[in-house]
Amino acid sequence: MTKLRLALACAVLLAASPTALAQDTQRLRTDKGEVIVETLARNLQHPWSLAFLPDSRMLVTERPGRLRLVDAQGNLSEPIKGLPPISARGQGGLLDVALDPNFAQNRLIYLSFAEDRGGGRNGTSVARGRLSQDGTRLEDTQIIFRQEPSYAGTYHFGSRLVFGRDGNLFVTLGERNDLREQAQNPGNHLGTIVRIKPTGGAAPGNPFVNREDARPEIWSYGHRNIQSAALHPTTGELWIVDHGARGGDEVNIPQKGRNYGWPVISYGVHYSGQKIGEGTRKPGMEQPVYYWDPSIAPSGMAFYTGDKFPAWRGSILIGALAGRLVSRLETNGSRVTGEERMLQNLGERIRDVRQGPDGLIYLLTDSRQGRILRMRPAE
């Protein structure tokens, strides 16, 4: 075969198979119309969370311990300096990132992460620091919260950060897996949601501030491993999605002082197939708003309020790791009225879901070569 014929044959083969560009841009069907999913940025190692700055750039965390800026063209900055030491083992590492409600004035950002506590023990901690004007480092970084007790394990750290409308910070915390029974003990932070002041310490109005046998930071308890949390755009209430074991992923609206049952009640079973606790109901323990069985392994969550997908307005978009999809939940008040499972053809573990200031949807894929994906209407 001549060089010319070989070149022509290669060109035909390339035209008949997906090019790099085609792989990065996919047209997919949903119940409400077709969407385009395109790669905005790549080469992120297990990206965990993203947050939009006022200028529409993004902060993105990588679980091994890097925080980067990403511009509108998908260009990644060098890792931002000044982060606290990160313990990146197992499911631990650098986790969520959130902007202070007054970021435009104070440039404060908050990070949740697994922290080495010595002696092989670790735990989920929250730090805050001031992003320098040039975006290259965090200044005056300080730890404002530590989950207690610490533990020599590598599972179930949580952890999402959500500011309430009153300016206080909700932090979701896992029960560290082996210590699951302690999720029923408000004397520690395991398997809880805590509500703290932006400088640290229990927020005013917390349910256990006057109880000697409970941690004053706790808002609710009896949780397993919450990696999805967002404020309802109308009511301002916190909504969360908790990981089940084999089945029993739960949507809840955590009310202060309430017990959400883990590991006494669940709609799932242990990975061994054994029954969990006492069944699905018990007096004094809350029922979920919605649950999955089998599990999808939820991570990341956003209420859609934009105008680019008008048929989705009011829906909750939730990423799924084991499910490798995005679940769109339709709601009516405090009820979930329907579910659509989208983007299965991507075949990606979805770690985070965010609505951008442009009304488009941004997703993080959880892998060693993780990507930031942008979803827009096909029209």
Burial class (CB in 10 A: 0-12, 13-18, 19+), 204: exposed
The C-alpha atoms of residue 224 and residue 235 are separated, in whole angstroms, by 25
From the candidates 46, 156, 189, 243, give the one annotated as an active-site residue: 156
Q: Which of 116, 89, 113, 102 is nearest to 54 (CA)?
A: 102
Q: Look up 156 and say whether it is catalytic.
A: yes
Query: Amino acid identity of 226?
Result: I
Query: Amino acid identity of 61?
Result: T
φ, ψ of residue 231 in degrees (nearest 5): -85, 140
Residue owning tokens 């085609």:
22
β strands within 53-132, DSSP E: 58-62, 66-70, 94-99, 108-118, 121-131
Query: Amino acid identity of 256?
Result: K
The C-alpha atoms of residue 152 and residue 154 are separated, in whole angstroms, by 7
Burial class (CB in 10 A: 0-12, 13-18, 19+), 186: buried
The C-alpha atoms of residue 23 and residue 18 are separated, in whole angstroms, by 6
β-pairing, 108-118 vs 121-131, is: antiparallel
Rounding to the nearest 10 degrees, give the CA dihedral for residues 320, 269, 95, 57. 20
Radius of gyration of the chain (CA): 21
The C-alpha atoms of residue 120 and residue 124 are separated, in whole angstroms, by 14
Which sequence positions are flagged as catalytic? 156
